[in-house]
Amino acid sequence: GNGGSSGGGTLVGLVTKTDTNPFFVKMKEGAQQAASSAGVTVQSFAGKQDGDNQAQVDAIENLIASGAKGILITPSDSKAIVPSVDKARAAGLLVIALDTQLEPASAADATFATDNYKAGLLIGQWAKAKFAKDGKQAKIGLLDLNPNQVSVDVQRDQGFLEGFGVDVKDKTRIGDESDPRIVGHDVTNGDPSGGRTAMENLLQRDPGINLVYTINEPAAAGAYEALKAAGKEKDVVIVSVDGGCPGVENVKAGVIGATSQQYPLKMAQLGVEAVTQFAKDGSKPKDTDTGVTLITDQPAEGVESKDSAFGLQNCWG
């Protein structure tokens, strides 16, 4: 039972938020692929659920104790994890934040991430352009993660609204907007079943909803089922974030209007390579934006995007 590909003496730790979300599972796979080609070992850890900070603290300590050279982490609580990261760095480990920045970002040696805010912004801009073109008045429903207002959740949600041209007021809080176009928020736990229930309830509140933001593609898939059941799937535009293969398939199938594709495999690969390099010569990497690409088959004026064929080539699982 070795959690990683067998390899040389260099141990790289990967700490993700959960091991159920496909996004992190792919990240793990990416890290292991990179590890086998670089000849190092990856050991992965995960929290039991989003926000499980303690498990990540334990993981960092266990990695320090195991003599790891570096840690790649997607923080569950980007503030609360910082002291543990400091400890790891003080013990001579290279710490790279993947996907989500630490607060402050300088707490990590480097951040390999997508800008989640930008991911939200892109789908917001796309939706704005699309609605302007169609000459429709938007009625927006937002399907967020959970009541806890974790940073990815907030950044994607607020980015989307900003991109759509809504005054978001406090950028760090979901739900303090007063724009009349917003019908409401509900939470999904990022899974299809939660997405469906949340969508159903929002539709009950206002059956006229025609634009739905979703925290991720599984939630979007659930939301689509709710819309389909209500016979409204043709009239409503769903936007999402992730860029997983099922999600891009859904873009192609017209289920999702546009999604912001992120690259967990790339993040993990770069991370493993950076730690390998660090182990060899002690050189530290720089912050890298692994990029975000808007995937849609209905390109909108003024918003850069790629089609679903590109998306499928680059999707992560």
Partner 1 sequence: MTTVVEERDRSLLTRVQHLLHAQATIGPAVVLLVSVVVFALLSERFLTPGNISLILQQVAVVGTLAVGQTIVILTAGIDLSCGAIMVLTSIVMAKVAAETGLPGFPALLLGFLVGTVCGLLNGMLVTRLKLPPFIVTLGTLNVFFALNLWYSGSATIRGTDMPSLLLWTGQTFTVGGTRITYGSIMLVVLVAAMAFVLKNTAWGRHVYSTGDDLEASRLSGIRTARVLLSVYATAGLVYALAAWTLIGRIASASPQAGQTDNLDSITAVVIGGTSLFGGRGAVVGSLIGALIVGVFRNGLALAGVDVLWQTMAVGVLIIVAVSLDQWIRKVKA
**114, 51, 110, 43: which is closest to 81 by C-alpha?**
51
Does residue 207 have a cis peptide bond before it, meaning omega lies within 30 degrees of 0? no
C-beta of 110 vs 199, nearer to partner 1: 199
Q: Count of residues binding partner 1 (CB under 8 A)? A: 71
Residues 51-110 close enough to bind partner 1 by CB under 8 A: 51-54, 57-59, 61-62, 65-67, 76-77, 79-84
Footprint of partner 1 on 216-235 (CB under 8 A): 218, 221-222, 225, 229
Contact 197, 168 (CB under 8 A): no
Binding test (CB under 8 A) with partner 1, winner from 19, 134, 289, 304? 19
Supply the minimum distance, in Å, between the C-beta of residue 32 and partner 1. 10
Q: Supply the minimum distance, in Å, between the C-beta of residue 277 and partner 1.
A: 22
**Least separation, in Å, of the C-beta of 290 and partner 1?**
21
For residues 114 and 48, what is the distance between their CA atoms, to the nearest angstrom?
23
CB 35 to partner 1: min, Å: 12
Question: Which CB, 246 or 291, lies closer to partner 1?
Answer: 246
36 binds partner 1 (CB under 8 A): no
| Contacts of partner 1 in 137-176 (CB under 8 A) | 147-150, 172-173, 175
Q: Is residue 308 a contact point for partner 1 (CB under 8 A)? A: no
Residue pair 94/109 in contact by the 8 Å Cβ criterion: yes
Helices within 52-207 (DSSP H only): 53-66, 82-90, 116-134, 151-164, 192-205
Q: What is the DSSP letter of 306?
A: B
For partner 1, which residue of 7, 10, 12, 25 counts as binding (CB under 8 A)? 25
CA distance 266 to 286: 15
Under rule CB under 8 A, residue 48 binds partner 1? yes
- Cβ proximity to partner 1: between 207 and 302 the closer is 207
> CA–CA separation, 7 vs 19, rounded Å?
23
Residue 307 found at the interface with partner 1 (CB under 8 A): no
Question: Which positions ≥6 away from 142 have C-beta within 8 Å?
Answer: 157, 160, 161, 174, 182, 184, 185, 186, 212, 213
Choose between 222 and 271: whose C-beta lies nearer to partner 1.
222
Stretch touching partner 1 by CB under 8 A, among 126-134, 178-186, 284-292, 295-303:
178-186
Among 34, 98, 140, 187, binds partner 1 (CB under 8 A): 187
Report the DSSP pairing between strands 140-144 and 293-296: unpaired
Mention every residue, 6+ apart, whose C-beta is less than 8 A from residue 77: 51, 53, 56, 150
Stretch that binds partner 1, among 50-58, 119-127, 286-294, 305-313 (CB under 8 A): 50-58
Instruction: Please report whether residue 236 would count as binding partner 1 according to CB under 8 A.
Output: no
